Amino acid sequence: MKATLEKLRSSALGEIDSSGDIAELESLRVRYLGKKGGLTAMLRQMGSLSASERPAAGALANSVRADIESALAARLKGIEASALSEKLLREKIDVTVPGKRAEAGHRHPMSIVLDETRDIFIGMGFAVAEGPEVELSLYDFDKLNIPPNHTVREWSDTFYITEDESVHLRCQTSPVQVRYMEAHRPPIRIISPGRVFRRDEVDASHSPMFHQIEGLVVDRGITLGDLKGTLNALVGHLYGEGAKTRFRPHHFPFTEPSCEVDVRCVVCGGTGCRVCKGEGWLELLGAGMVHPKVLAGVGIDPDEYSGFAFGIGVERMTMLRYRIDDMRLLYENDLRFLEQFE
């Protein structure tokens, strides 16, 4: 009995000492100390010993158990400590390595101009409205006082969605005027920026897709003076207080009277140059007083209310602002160009 217990102790301590991980240690614990383990089996045999042999054997069995238990605990500590130091070694970081610079992007020049324009109008009490890019002819033409055979429909020949030409990509942001007036009663003060489409060939000043900002104000007693004041405020903000505007008579079916607004050439100051083609003025936008027929069409009484509207080309505004002489630069996403506007 004594010899067997000693053997059990030395083999258990040896195996525990050389065990490599927690799972292995646990299976050793079960094998030696568990219910079906070696030591338990030995204790069961105690009964067959004589009364004089029993105390010594019992004491030995207890000391074997205590040795195995403390060996298990010590080995467990050892395994945990080496796992920790391995982990620390693996996760060591060098805090002196230089960091990676986060390359922040920046806004496209048109976004800069658009954001500024939006701020200027919001400051004057305007709301921002949006409308669909796929539009009904009903809104892009008919309700804007452009009947089926009107010549305007030819120059704005657009991209048709349906064969009967009743649905197409909008060729202007003006249909948002109608949509907004159908849903809201005066006083109305909105701008509506967005994409528009026309069947134009790409060149230095044309693109089949470009951007406009529509403006609409409807209330009692609105006059052409309000239109001029509003647009002069915009031009002053964008091109400096000294910027001069010129209101030139024009025709749009949905405004009466209508005008085009030019700004004194930002490059030559009005003496005439290549950019303004010797004119001294650059065309900026179309505008006018909302046509009584358009107001009546959305159920706003033209005898009680009046309004003005305008449509600005965002590309043109941006090109004048930054003196960009080719519109294609705005779409090519060439970083050498874009990085100049940080």
Query: Site residues (CB under 6 A) for ligand PHE?
Result: 172, 174, 252, 255, 286-288, 309-311
**What's the Rg (C-alpha) of the chain?**
43
Nearest residue (CB) to ligand PHE, 107 versus 195: 195
Minimum distance from residue 237 beta carbon to ligand PHE (Å): 20
Nearest residue (CB) to ligand PHE, 19 versus 145: 145
Nearest residue (CB) to ligand PHE, 109 versus 288: 288
- What are the C-alpha distances in Å from 54 to residues 36, 50, 58, 60, 255? 21, 6, 6, 10, 118
CB 327 within 8 A of CB 206: yes
Looking at the DSSP assignment, which residues form a beta bridge with residue 281?
Answer: 264
Minimum distance from residue 180 beta carbon to ligand PHE (Å): 13
| Helices first, then strands: H and E counts in the chain | 12, 9
Locate 101 and state its tokens: 């610079």
In one-letter notation, the amino acid at residue 192 is: S
Nearest residue (CB) to ligand PHE, 37 versus 286: 286
Nearest residue (CB) to ligand PHE, 67 versus 283: 283
Minimum distance from residue 255 beta carbon to ligand PHE (Å): 5
Element (H, E) at 169: strand 167-169
Please name the residue that has the structure tokens 């505008």. 287
Nearest residue (CB) to ligand PHE, 19 versus 117: 117
CA angle in degrees (0–180, nearest 5) for 304-187-130: 125
- What are the C-alpha distances in Å from 250 to residues 146, 210, 291? 16, 22, 14
Minimum distance from residue 95 beta carbon to ligand PHE (Å): 59
Minimum distance from residue 252 beta carbon to ligand PHE (Å): 4
Which residue number is nearest to ligand PHE in terms of Cβ?
Answer: 311
Minimum distance from residue 321 beta carbon to ligand PHE (Å): 19
